[in-house]
Protein backbone atom coordinates (compact mmCIF):
# COMPACT_ATOMS: atom_id res chain seq x y z
CA UNK A 1 0.00 0.00 0.00
CA UNK A 2 1.21 3.47 -0.80
CA UNK A 3 2.00 5.23 2.51
CA UNK A 4 -0.02 8.33 1.60
CA UNK A 5 -3.11 6.17 1.09
CA UNK A 6 -2.78 4.75 4.60
CA UNK A 7 -2.43 8.30 5.95
CA UNK A 8 -5.52 9.47 4.06
CA UNK A 9 -7.56 6.57 5.45
CA UNK A 10 -6.40 7.43 8.97
CA UNK A 11 -7.31 11.09 8.52
CA UNK A 12 -10.68 10.19 7.02
CA UNK A 13 -11.56 8.00 10.00
CA UNK A 14 -10.94 10.90 12.38
CA UNK A 15 -11.98 13.94 10.36
CA UNK A 16 -14.03 12.74 7.42
CA UNK A 17 -13.58 12.97 3.69
CA UNK A 18 -13.11 16.73 3.76
CA UNK A 19 -10.12 16.45 6.09
CA UNK A 20 -8.60 13.72 3.94
CA UNK A 21 -9.05 15.80 0.79
CA UNK A 22 -7.52 18.86 2.48
CA UNK A 23 -4.49 16.80 3.49
CA UNK A 24 -4.07 15.42 -0.03
CA UNK A 25 -4.31 18.88 -1.59
CA UNK A 26 -1.67 20.15 0.84
CA UNK A 27 0.55 17.16 0.16
CA UNK A 28 0.37 17.74 -3.59
CA UNK A 29 1.10 21.44 -3.16
CA UNK A 30 4.08 20.80 -0.86
CA UNK A 31 5.47 18.36 -3.40
CA UNK A 32 4.82 20.76 -6.28
CA UNK A 33 2.85 18.19 -8.24
CA UNK A 34 -0.61 17.67 -9.65
CA UNK A 35 -2.98 14.84 -8.85
CA UNK A 36 -2.51 13.43 -12.36
CA UNK A 37 1.29 13.45 -12.09
CA UNK A 38 1.12 11.91 -8.62
CA UNK A 39 -1.06 9.05 -9.87
CA UNK A 40 1.06 8.56 -12.99
CA UNK A 41 4.13 8.16 -10.77
CA UNK A 42 2.40 5.54 -8.66
CA UNK A 43 0.59 3.40 -11.23
CA UNK A 44 1.79 4.57 -14.59
CA UNK A 45 -0.31 5.98 -17.37
CA UNK A 46 -2.35 2.88 -18.22
CA UNK A 47 -4.34 0.02 -16.81
CA UNK A 48 -7.19 -0.41 -14.38
CA UNK A 49 -5.57 1.60 -11.63
CA UNK A 50 -5.32 4.61 -13.92
CA UNK A 51 -8.98 4.23 -14.86
CA UNK A 52 -9.94 3.99 -11.18
CA UNK A 53 -8.04 7.11 -10.18
CA UNK A 54 -9.40 9.02 -13.18
CA UNK A 55 -12.92 8.21 -11.99
CA UNK A 56 -12.01 9.26 -8.44
CA UNK A 57 -10.71 12.56 -9.74
CA UNK A 58 -14.00 13.21 -11.53
CA UNK A 59 -15.93 12.28 -8.42
CA UNK A 60 -14.01 14.61 -6.11
CA UNK A 61 -13.44 17.50 -8.51
Round to whole Å and give the CA distance between 56 and 54: 5
pLDDT at 11: 95
Q: Which pTM value belongs to this model? A: 0.67
Segment 2-56, tens digit of pLDDT: 788 899 999 999 999 999 999 999 999 999 999 888 877 877 666 666 677 777 7
Nearest Cα to Cα of residue 20 among 52, 55, 60: 60
Q: What is the pLDDT of residue 43?
A: 72
At 46 the three-state DSSP class reads coil
Q: What is the DSSP letter of 61?
A: -
Amino acid sequence: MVPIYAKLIEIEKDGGVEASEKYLRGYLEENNTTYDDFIDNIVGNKGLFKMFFTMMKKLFS
